[in-house]
Amino acid sequence: MALAGKGRGASHSHSHYEEDISAMAGPSSETTPLLGRSSSPETMEGKRTTQYLGAVTVCLSAMAVGSTMGWTSAADSLKNKTHDFHITEEEFAWVGAFLSIGAIFGAIPLGFLANVIGRKMVIIALAPAMTAGYLLLAFANSLAMLYVARFILGAVTGAYCVVAPMYTAEISENSIRGVLGSYFQLLITSGILFVYALNACGVSLMAINITCACIPVVMGVLVFFFYDTPVWYLSKGRSEDARKSLQFFRGTDNVENELTAIQEGIEERKRSKVKFTEAFSTREAKMGLFLALSVMLFQQFSGINAVIFYSKQIFDAAHAGIESNLSTVIVGVCQILATYVSTLMIDRLGRRLLLIFSGAMMALSGALLGVYFYIQETGDASSIGWLPITCMVVFIIVFSLGYGPIPWLYMSEVFSDQIKETAMSIATVVNWVAVFVVTKFYSDLVNSVHTYGTFWIFTIISIIGCFFTFFCVVETKGKDISEVLAELRGRRANSNVVHHEKQANGGERF
């Protein structure tokens, strides 16, 4: 998923389901921003501490997600006969793939469920299920138990990839949306490194599973002390709770203007709602979905999850002269550091520039890694044993700067309020389908075109992604959702027109 794996947009641009799915309609281009601008006087009077704390706390779910991704490298020992039962290479590939299968099913109902019981309660309710999945892994004594455990973990993972970005988006101010949004990817990389480090320190697989089972417990307890989002409260008519939530996250009592803006946005959608299918028929909806799905697919088919899931095996195959468990830790450390750096850059350099840079450098490092494996297979590569880990480190760093966090952020920035939950669920499902394809068939691809050919295929896809970003991707940095939607419709954004124009038919169409 990175990933998986696995965004967050302007807080004022995120509202969600009304009473049911059919209520998710309305003019997709002219919706009043749901949360106030970060530059408002009332925001300047407050503090952002609780926004940061809320984002970090909720994104502990991402750390649990990361641990499920890094688990595959630690569980490589399952193929050894030193355990109670032995599994084949093909069976192990299915163990890895069941995570993405579960995630596909877990992501589908989350938009609707998060509207019914709230973002906060969904996050809390999912925690015991993830704990149960890890405990099942810890005490598994058959292949079937491994499959079931990984499916459960995958279902929770897919759900968290939808609801955690949703929560973060709805509590964030516009000026820090990129920073808070990138926390999800940052905590994913932390979870991956956590498992890598435990494995490198010689911790048994059972102990790793039990330790990882504690992460969602801690997260669920901490989330309990935070409010749900003001958007959800207002969508349920709980105006006083919405005011308290907004005061809590803004650090000031002066939130009436922002609260009014949220309420007006919700009421405007109710007045001008159209059929659910009609909301998806607008040009901006189609373009937003096309762009969101495209960056998700380029993220996954760059080969990132093959690198994360099978990093230990790749280093073993490379004979790089460095113990493979240590190599995975080095990669994990570089990944988390680079992801942190991206949190500082994402609102300064913009999405497009970081995506192009990330894709270009991933292509270069992937191509060189393919060259190493080609030389190794056809001759003697001992003199360049340093190259695999160098390429892997560069690959992980540049991925974490761009294609790691940005697709998740981007999908929350290009959808109107009428389709946001469903569209984000669709994008998440597509992401996990791609994860399944890459992780399940990576070994088959290596057997067919060799390791070097596999990485060259990833390289070609990354190059195509660079050109796609340059010519097609709309920049969303610092823009209101109304401005983004105007660009997706193919017209220059004009704040006065965009914010106030009304379209009774729900928007322009192709």
What is the per-residue pLDDT across 83-118, written as a single tens digit (0 to 9) for each? 566 788 778 878 888 888 898 888 777 777 888 898
The mean of the pLDDT values for the chain is 77
| SS3 call for 397 | helix
In this prediction, residue 49 carries a pLDDT of 85
In this prediction, residue 29 carries a pLDDT of 30
Closest CA to 472 of 412, 402, 414, 395: 414
With 0-12 / 13-18 / 19 or more C-beta atoms within 10 angstroms meaning exposed / middle / buried, residue 422 is buried
Taking residues 475-494, what's their average pLDDT?
73
Taking residues 333-357, what's their average pLDDT?
80
Position 36 pLDDT exceeds 90: no
Q: Would you list the domain boundaries of the chain?
A: 46-226, 273-490
Taking residues 172-184, what's their average pLDDT?
76
The segment with the largest mean pLDDT, out of 10-19, 123-132, 348-357, 387-396, is: 123-132
- Label each residue of 264-297 as H, E or C: HHHHHHHHCCCCHHHHCCEHHHHHHHHHHHHHHH
Taking residues 361-381, what's their average pLDDT?
88
In this prediction, residue 30 carries a pLDDT of 31
Share above pLDDT 90 across residues of the chain, in percent, rounded to a whole number: 19
Taking residues 468-479, what's their average pLDDT?
86
Residue type at 252 in one-letter notation: T
> Does residue 430 or residue 479 have the better pLDDT?
430
Position 235 pLDDT exceeds 70: yes
| Cα distance between residue 107 and residue 105, in whole Å | 6
In this prediction, residue 9 carries a pLDDT of 35
Has domain 46-226 been given CATH number 1.20.1250.20? yes
Share above pLDDT 70 across residues of the chain, in percent, rounded to a whole number: 78
Q: pLDDT for 391-407, tens place per residue?
A: 888 888 888 888 887 88
Position 489 pLDDT exceeds 50: yes
- Six-digit token string for 370: 């393919």
In this prediction, residue 312 carries a pLDDT of 65
| Cα distance between residue 288 and residue 294, in whole Å | 10
> Does residue 158 or residue 389 have the better pLDDT?
158
> Does residue 375 or residue 500 have the better pLDDT?
375
Q: How confident is the model at residue 509 (pLDDT cuts 50, 70, 90)?
A: very low
In this prediction, residue 133 carries a pLDDT of 94
What is the largest distance, in Å, between two alpha-carbon atoms of the chain?
72
Give residue for tokens 């921003």. Answer: 33
- Of 355-359, 431-435, 467-471, the least confident: 431-435
In this prediction, residue 502 carries a pLDDT of 39
Q: pLDDT for 434-469, tens place per residue?
A: 888 887 787 788 888 988 899 999 999 999 999 999
CB 157 within 8 A of CB 99: yes
In this prediction, residue 131 carries a pLDDT of 96
In this prediction, residue 134 carries a pLDDT of 94
Residue spans of beta strands (DSSP E) within 188-284: none
46-226 and 273-490 share one fold: yes
In this prediction, residue 12 carries a pLDDT of 34
Q: How confident is the model at residue 349 (pLDDT cuts 50, 70, 90)?
A: confident
In this prediction, residue 226 carries a pLDDT of 92
Write the CATH number of the domain with boundaries 273-490.
1.20.1250.20
Q: How confident is the model at residue 293 (pLDDT cuts 50, 70, 90)?
A: very high
Position 221 pLDDT exceeds 80: yes
Taking residues 128-133, what's their average pLDDT?
95
| Cα distance between residue 243 and residue 123, in whole Å | 22
Closest CA to 122 of 91, 62, 76, 163: 163
- 267's CB contacts (< 8 A; 6+ apart) are none
In this prediction, residue 429 carries a pLDDT of 84
Q: pLDDT for 245-278, tens place per residue?
A: 888 988 888 888 888 887 877 776 666 666 667 7
Q: How confident is the model at residue 503 (pLDDT cuts 50, 70, 90)?
A: very low
Taking residues 53-79, what's their average pLDDT?
84
| Cα distance between residue 406 and residue 394, in whole Å | 18
